[in-house]
Amino acid sequence: TTRTPSFLGLDQNAAVLPESDSVSEVIIGVLDTGVWPESKSFDDTGFGPIPSSWKGECETGTKFTASNCNKKLIGARYFTRGYEATLGPIDESKESRSARDEDGHGTHTASTAAGSVVPGANLFGYAVGTARGMATRARVAVYKVCWIGGCFSSDILAAVDKAIDDNVNVLSLSLGGSMSDYYRDSVAIGAFAAMEKGILVSCSAGNGGPSSYSLANVAPWITTVGAGTLDRDFPAYVSVGNGKNFSGVSLYRGNSLPAKMLPFVYAGNASNVTGGNLCMTGTLIPEMVSGKIVLCDRGVNPRVQKGSVVKAAGGAGMILTNTAANGEELVADAHLLPAIGMGQITGDAIKAYLLSDRNPTATIIFEGTKLGIEPSPVVAAFSSRGPNSITSEVLKPDMIAPGVNILAGWTGAVGPTALAEDDRRVEFNIISGTSMSCPHVSGLAALLKAAHPDWSPAAIRSALMTTAYTAYKNGKMLQDVATGKPSTPFDHGAGHVDPISALNPGLVYDLTVEDYLNFLCALNYTTLQINALAKRNFSCDSRKTYSVNDLNYPSFAVSFPADMGSTIGSGSSTGSSVVKHTRTLTNVGSPGMYKVSVSTMNSSVKILVEPETLSFSRANEKKSYTVTFSATSMPSNTNVFGRIEWSNGKNVVGSPVAISWT
């Protein structure tokens, strides 16, 4: 967050952002590992009285009292009953029975969403600058639901229950579970209740990428956030004995390597166990790695643990190379020894040298922080990907936001690697994940809420989605680091968030609770299932035809059968399938006429929008349109992507389209 406000255009457009007084009325609830209240990110200098709507508390517990809260950090609760019922009493020698964050994750996410301005922030001199949350004047309430043993659904439900009572405006959840139907998923259930009360719920999409169908938190009333990179990097390079140099990234700061080439060994050849190349605990033979640079392959155990394993075995440094699962994605870590992370192509080239030279040597050179990296953003390899495995007709993720190498506040209880043997303490740490992208959107949603207090959660999400961008300034499409090719709506959703444009989207796709109930009817949910999820007796009308395609979502996901003998939806022709979607746009800008434009990447798909123009004469006026998707036969697992845009010449209201044959 010493870079993301600028990367998102917030710094350059401060004049168009909502007044700080209105932002300070917005409360962001963060369900996570708690908070380190002493972090400068929660300094309340200049903050006025706590909003009168606030009903929350700062709960007293171990190493945490009400005095740890202030006008910035206005609430701190913790939820242990579910956790302790399953795993036994909290071991207070390892974690506090309070909202105190001894993990770091919760402090990082909360400060990313709404941290105060902290000049001179850095991690070991890397990423130096002014750290700040996306909504610096918003208030923070933390709900600690994650403990050393995990985050239990009974605690999560209790926390959301309380957050609703407390009157938060935005909820940020950087966590997820296994895929399950909405009526069984506590996050989806809690989010539904929050949405009903006008609370926007932003959740991380998951780190299961680049595999397809790897998304978490896909309910349509949740804002699901994937991760992209920044234009910032932490370059380092490896120089090997044959004179060649290879680029990578590093956050190492400490004792330098000797000013000479060091012997170089592949971990797989310095171990007598299967999988020795992964540098798992206790697998390296000290006599074979002592004083050497060790090359380890990424995967299975944490990256920073590999560094610790090499150090413990006497290694002088580590080169950590990606495998196919991560491709060229470079995630920097604050390793305990001189270390560098490298992409798969570079790693393979180094391995070719390492395994062919009789006396291989190497050294690592660290170059600090570099800005202006292009292209950026690119979709992070780890960012979970669609299609949506619960409801394929709802395109997820909704959008991407910065989630790679993010600097934000950190706990004072553990070091930046969070390893037990890491006795370093830092005020800020640099970490990666959709956990980091989610609170960026939570903070941006708080800004939109402040600017438009009457907007529903769906309207806020719509504004963020329809103004997201899918191309770089040079016109080329956003890339996916996992493939090096253009990313698709299954990777980036509507695109990368652009908060300044989102403040004035022109039109929004709004959704009410009833719309979501109709959606559940379209899913053929039983009355019992709807009651369990939505907490009401709602019977679907047997005389009414419900369609998932009618959910007024700001994106389009269309599924055609690969066997074209059958047809879907209304209308059909021999050898082709037809699917119709209906949408309604609400004018939140000036009166005017919007004209539609459609683009697809494949001529086998026809997209017809009717009508082609929509005229709005007053604020909050609603106009509907229909999209007919027609397609000829395509092999199974084929995907075609496109885009539908409405424009009045000033605003562009864009929707991604994903068409699949299954």
Of 202-210, 317-325, 502-510, 624-632: span binding another protein (CB under 8 A): 202-210
Question: Of residues 91-120, which lie at the interface with another protein (CB under 8 A)?
Answer: 105
Q: CA-to-CA distance for 656 and 596, rounded, in angstroms?
A: 13
Give the residue, chosen from 189, 313, 340, 407, that forms a contact with another protein under the rule CB under 8 A. 189
Question: Of residues 57-96, which lie at the interface with another protein (CB under 8 A)?
Answer: 81-82, 85-86
Sequence-distant (≥ 6) Cβ neighbours of residue 110 within 8 angstroms: 28, 30, 32, 35, 41, 42, 133, 140, 142, 172, 409, 439
Give the residue, chosen from 20, 70, 130, 154, that forms a contact with another protein under the rule CB under 8 A. 154
Closer of 84 and 328 to another protein (Cβ): 84
Give the residue, chosen from 476, 535, 595, 650, that forms a contact with another protein under the rule CB under 8 A. 535
Closer of 472 and 538 to another protein (Cβ): 538
Give the residue, chosen from 38, 44, 57, 161, that forms a contact with another protein under the rule CB under 8 A. 161
Measured CA distances, 106 to 92, 100, 474, 535, 579 (Å):
18, 9, 37, 30, 43
- Contact 231/372 with Cβ under 8 angstroms? yes
E strand intervals along 241-360: 245-249, 262-266, 293-297, 317-321, 339-342
Tell me the closest approach of the beta carbon of residue 404 to another protein, in angstroms.
Answer: 13
Closer of 166 and 510 to another protein (Cβ): 166
Q: CA-to-CA distance for 48 and 37, rounded, in angstroms?
A: 18
Query: At residue 3, what are phi and psi to the nearest 5 degrees?
Result: -125, -35
Give the residue, chosen from 26, 156, 404, 640, that forms a contact with another protein under the rule CB under 8 A. 156
Give the residue, chosen from 118, 187, 249, 330, that forms a contact with another protein under the rule CB under 8 A. 187
- Three-class SS state of 238: strand
Tell me the closest approach of the beta carbon of residue 216 to another protein, in angstroms.
Answer: 7
Of 10-18, 198-206, 251-259, 266-274: span binding another protein (CB under 8 A): 198-206
Closer of 216 and 331 to another protein (Cβ): 216
Q: CA-to-CA distance for 437 and 205, rounded, in angstroms?
A: 9
Question: Of residues 396-455, which lie at the interface with another protein (CB under 8 A)?
Answer: 433-435, 438
Buried b (16+ CB within 10 A) or exposed e, 320-331: bbbeeebbbbbb
Tell me the closest approach of the beta carbon of residue 225 to another protein, in angstroms.
Answer: 10
Residue with tokens 């209105």: 22
Which of 105, 335, 492, 496 does the annotation list as catalytic?
Answer: 105
Closer of 133 and 403 to another protein (Cβ): 403
Which of 96, 172, 383, 435 does the annotation list as catalytic?
Answer: 435
Tell me the closest approach of the beta carbon of residue 65 to another protein, in angstroms.
Answer: 24
Class of residue 221 by CB neighbours under 10 A (exposed 0-12, middle 13-18, buried 19+)? buried
Tell me the closest approach of the beta carbon of residue 101 to another protein, in angstroms.
Answer: 12
Q: Which one-letter amino acid corresponds to residue 568? A: I
- Directed axis angle between helix 457-466 and helix 434-451, to 10°? 110
Does 30 bind another protein (CB under 8 A)? Our answer is: no
Q: CA-to-CA distance for 123 and 427, rounded, in angstroms?
A: 8
User: What does the block give as tokens for 434?
Assistant: 């959709």
Q: In the annotation, is 105 catalytic?
A: yes
Handedness of CA 601, 607, 610, 616 (dihedral sign): negative
Specify the DSSP element, H or E, that contains 20: helix 20-23
Class of residue 86 by CB neighbours under 10 A (exposed 0-12, middle 13-18, buried 19+)? exposed
Which of 32, 103, 166, 510 does the annotation list as catalytic?
Answer: 32
Count of residues engaged in binding another protein, rule: CB under 8 A: 50
Closer of 67 and 178 to another protein (Cβ): 178
Question: Of residues 167-186, which lie at the interface with another protein (CB under 8 A)?
Answer: 174-178, 180, 183-186
Tell me the closest approach of the beta carbon of residue 173 to another protein, in angstroms.
Answer: 9
Closer of 87 and 261 to another protein (Cβ): 87
Buried b (16+ CB within 10 A) or exposed e, 569-594: beeeeeebbbbbbebbbbbbbeebeb
Give the residue, chosen from 24, 41, 204, 369, that forms a contact with another protein under the rule CB under 8 A. 204
Q: CA-to-CA distance for 104 and 97, rounded, in angstroms?
A: 15
Give contact residues for another protein (rule: CB under 8 A).
32-33, 81-82, 85-86, 105, 146, 150-154, 156-158, 160-161, 164-165, 174-178, 180, 183-187, 189-190, 193, 197, 204-207, 216, 433-435, 438, 528-529, 531-532, 535, 537
Catalytic residues: 32, 105, 435
